[in-house]
Amino acid sequence: MEKLSVYNNVIAQFNKAADKMDLDTEIRKILGCTMNEIIIHFPVIMDDGHIQMFTGYRVQHNNVLGPFKGGLRYHPSVEIDEVRALATWMTWKSAIAGIPYGGAKGGIQLNPADYSKSELERITRRFTFALGSNIGPEYDIPAPDVNTNAQIMAWILDTYLSMMSPAEQNRCVHVVTGKPIESGGSLGRDKATGQGLVFVLEAWAADNAFDLGRATYLVQGYGNVGSWTARLLKPHGAKLLAVEDHTGALANPAGIDANDLHAYVQIHKGIAGYSGAKPITHREFMSTKADLFIPAALENQITADSAPWLQVKLVVEGANGPTNVAGDAILQERGIALLPDVLCNAGGVIVSYFEWLQNKRSEFWELEEVDAKLHRKMVGAYRRVRDTAAQFGTDWRTAAYIVALTRLEKVYKERGIFP
Ligand code: NAD
């Protein structure tokens, strides 16, 4: 089967919004391209003494609003098309959230499960070394994404600082975000993306007289974003009916305990074998009747093939790009509402921004302060998108793009193009 191009999807979304808002044709040319694309083939010594070559990517889409910013993904599907798309989404996301960042994304094409911890450390360090000055605390700031975490950020930090003079090292701790707390991370960063999604959902529920306490929902992906979302929805009383990850899908009509499942996944590295729910097929998972579907895994999950299966009222996108253009059209036809990724999952980059600020100022904020600031930013972004959707009479994804493109267009018009 031909792999669906994720980048074509972003460009189609971009063109739709640009047409709707009548984006300046010259600025459209600039934003419709990435700025820099770095592809690095690098050698790493494996535990058995052999050398293996790896391919790593960093795509920098735009930095007119501030430094390039975006995660690093370790996954077999990482390739240039996907990284371009993810980098572009980061530009829109930062612009919607109202934070002074541009967009970038990177990754290495590998399956982390195939490597030992020390191999992953050497792969990470060698990639960081190879990236060299293509990243930097005021230039391009990586963060965690699929299959990367605080430990990997700590290795990147240590490698980057090791390449600096001793006098400069403490000025550069903000070269990555999503670090462990002790190494300069922020309280609240780990849960930030799920927390931000829940803040958006709360705002939507209040606007629509929707009772989250009686809601039923499905989660696809039970990693950082999926499991934090489920754990944060639990106190609301919402019921998790079915869940899917790379090891399979499970359902329990009586509800799945989000904390218990999280504890299981920590040990078993996937949901398969969890005794609190019964195995179901992918199609059964996607067809489960519920109020909400929260995709929090990978791209292209709601497509022309699968969108007709959904039996939900609202899709809340935790993942980047889970719905493609054909999937979007079917959801709209079927009257299924959607809160888009560039709004819902912005909590990660927002708290990354807070971490970066704390590092720059040598401060350490309390969790309450981080949460309160995140709440303000998420609700602000939610309202901008909601009001823009009403103003333009359009779907929320297009509205979110219009919010981002309006901000970017203004800056380009103010600054002009050199020379
Ligand atoms: P993660 O590695 O912590 O979790 C990924 C989850 O997806 C795992 O549970 C995995 O089993 C599941 N998965 C992988 N392949 C699957 C498949 N074929 N079918 C079903 N499930 C599958 O990653 P994460 O950080 O939670 O990221 C998830 C999504 O959220 C990605 O799209 C990522 O770009 C996006 N995102 C993450 C953050 C963040 O702060 N981590 C921020 C914004 C957006």
Q: Where are the domains of the chain?
A: 34-183, 192-344
CA of 299 to the centre of ligand 1 (A): 9
Q: Residue 1: pLDDT above 80?
A: no
First-to-final CA distance of the chain = 46
pLDDT, one tens digit per residue, over 205-230 is 999 999 999 999 999 999 999 999 99
DSSP string, 74-95: E-TT--HHHHHHHHHHHHHHHH
| Residue owning the nearest CA to atom 37 of ligand 1 | 145
Is 192-344 in the same CATH topology as 34-183? Answer: yes
pTM given for the model: 0.97
Q: Is the CB of 318 under 6 A from ligand 1?
A: yes
CA of 295 to the centre of ligand 1 (A): 9
C-alpha dihedral (313, 225, 66, 323), degrees to nearest 10: -40
| Residue owning the nearest CA to atom 23 of ligand 1 | 146
Cα 200 from Cα 388, distance rounded (Å) = 16
CATH domain 192-344 topology: Rossmann fold (3.40.50)
Q: Is the CB of 286 under 6 A from ligand 1?
A: no
Q: Residue 2: pLDDT above 60?
A: no
pLDDT, one tens digit per residue, over 104-144 is 999 999 999 999 999 999 999 999 999 999 999 999 999 99
Q: Is the CB of 196 under 6 A from ligand 1?
A: no
| Residue owning the nearest CA to atom 16 of ligand 1 | 246
| Residue owning the nearest CA to atom 15 of ligand 1 | 246
Cα 354 from Cα 177, distance rounded (Å) = 9
Predicted confidence band at 4 (pLDDT cuts at 50, 70, 90)?
Answer: confident
Average pLDDT of the chain, as a whole number: 97
Nearest atom (ligand 1) to Cα of 318: 30
CATH superfamily to which 34-183 belongs: Leucine Dehydrogenase, chain A, domain 1 (3.40.50.10860)
Nearest atom (ligand 1) to Cα of 192: 40
CA of 400 to the centre of ligand 1 (A): 22
Beta carbons within 10 angstroms of residue 384's beta carbon: 21
Q: Hunting for tokens 């639990």 — which residue is that? A: 234
* Diameter of the chain measured on Cα atoms: 64
The token duo for 86 is: 């993810």
The token duo for 283 is: 């199609």
105 is catalytic: yes
